Amino acid sequence: MRFGWLVAQYRTLNYHIPMPDMLITSPNNPRIKAVAKLLQSRQRRKSGMFLVERDREITRALASGFELKEFYWCPRLWPEEWSPREVFDLGDIPVIEVADSVLAKMTVSQNPQGALAVFEQRTADTSRLFANAHNGLWLVTVGIEKPGNLGAMARTAESAGCTGMLVCTPDGISDADLFNPNAIRASTGAVFSLPMASMNESDAIAMLRQNAVQIITTSDRAQTAWDKVDYTKQTAIVIGPEDTGLSEIWLQAGDGILPVSIPMRGENCDSLNASVAAGILLYEAVRQRLG
């Protein structure tokens, strides 16, 4: 069967796996418990699987070539004539009907649409992120902890036509979780179509320099304004956390790194939301490139 990772878990529980297109009404069903664990970052890392909750995002994941393993749905939340197997062209993928209480256990949404898909994770090959990318534009995030922010930034990067996105963690910290359900939702599925990869800060800087990419970083100490640099070169825009900003490794001007500042005109704010800052710089790049 195609959902081998679930098979292994159920066999250890001596659990009989239901046939596709069956109805599950108990939230305590072992199969449902196994899927619900994918709401945890640790289990997503361990299994290599992730959840997608809404039909729009499910459609975009499928269109981007992510491998679907299982599909769960609650018919009461959809029109009578709606058939997930036909709408999503699911082929032999297991389609499992669940009650409302069961679906609620597997989703983060307070008002689920009624569909839930289990996909296999896939990230971009970091070497291919820079292959044949003449005058490419990349978004680099560093230490962004809020999944909603990360998803919104991916959405903006995709809208701005970015070549790819690097999601960086401080050196010594494990890779970022690119498939958090809240990040997926905030991105409206951009995390599937935008080439994305996770790495630590030092590796990211080394890779950008190796590929002769201009590195634009953001700092309130920078002397250069955000709109006074040339974004028509191949460029990476680096955004750090709102509370602490980027670490010094990103702020040493020279050797391909150019810190810029975004002016704050108000009296009671000392920083912009990370996704807003990303949008300002990315669309300045778009403006310049459109001429």
Domains and CATH numbers, the chain: 4-120 (3.30.1330.30), 128-290 (3.40.1280.10)
According to the model, what pLDDT value does residue 91 have? Answer: 84
According to the model, what pLDDT value does residue 5 have? Answer: 37
According to the model, what pLDDT value does residue 71 have? Answer: 94
According to the model, what pLDDT value does residue 133 have? Answer: 72
Interatomic CA distance for residues 102 and 32, integer angstroms: 7
According to the model, what pLDDT value does residue 82 have? Answer: 78
The residues facing 23 across adjacent strands are 97
Exposed (0-12), middle (13-18) or buried (19+): which is 27, by Cβ within 10 Å?
middle
Mean pLDDT by 10 residues, the chain (291 residues): 38 38 84 94 93 94 95 86 84 89 90 90 85 87 91 96 91 75 94 92 91 92 92 95 84 84 77 90 96 79
According to the model, what pLDDT value does residue 171 have? Answer: 67
Smallest Cα–Cα separation from 61: which of 232, 179, 214, 171? 179
Smallest Cα–Cα separation from 59: which of 151, 192, 195? 192
